[in-house]
């Protein structure tokens, strides 16, 4: 939503790095938050490792940042 609103485009591929790069054009901090979430997603999704309480906190902070940015952009 942020990229659509500010840039008039959105990431269409399967490569998450493209989405991160596009979001970095809007705000580098938001891109970092997305990168954190995506980095935590893969191990949690595929059971490659256990998620820790710290992972949960990092994910929550990152998600909150992105949700707030989307709310204020609308």
pLDDT category at 73 given cuts 50, 70, 90 is confident
On whether the CB atoms of residues 39 and 3 are closer than 8 A, the answer is no
* pLDDT at site 74: 66
Query: How crowded is residue 57: how many other Cβ atoms within 10 Å of its Cβ?
Result: 10
The pTM (predicted TM-score) of the whole model is: 0.84
CA–CA distances in Å: residue 60 to residues 9, 10, 34, 54: 26, 24, 11, 10
Residue 57 and residue 5: Cα distance in Å, rounded? 28
* pLDDT at site 45: 65
* pLDDT at site 43: 64
5 pLDDT more than 80? yes
CA dihedral 56, 59, 60, 63 (to 10 degrees): -160
């Amino acid at each position: 939503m942020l990229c659509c609103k500010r840039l008039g485009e959105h990431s269409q591929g399967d490569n998450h790095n493209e989405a991160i790069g596009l979001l970095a054009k809007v705000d580098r901090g938001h891109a970092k938050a997305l990168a954190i979430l995506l980095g935590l997603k893969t191990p949690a999704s595929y059971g490659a490792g256990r998620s820790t309480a710290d992972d949960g906190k990092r994910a929550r902070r990152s998600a909150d940042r992105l949700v707030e940015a989307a709310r204020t952009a609308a």
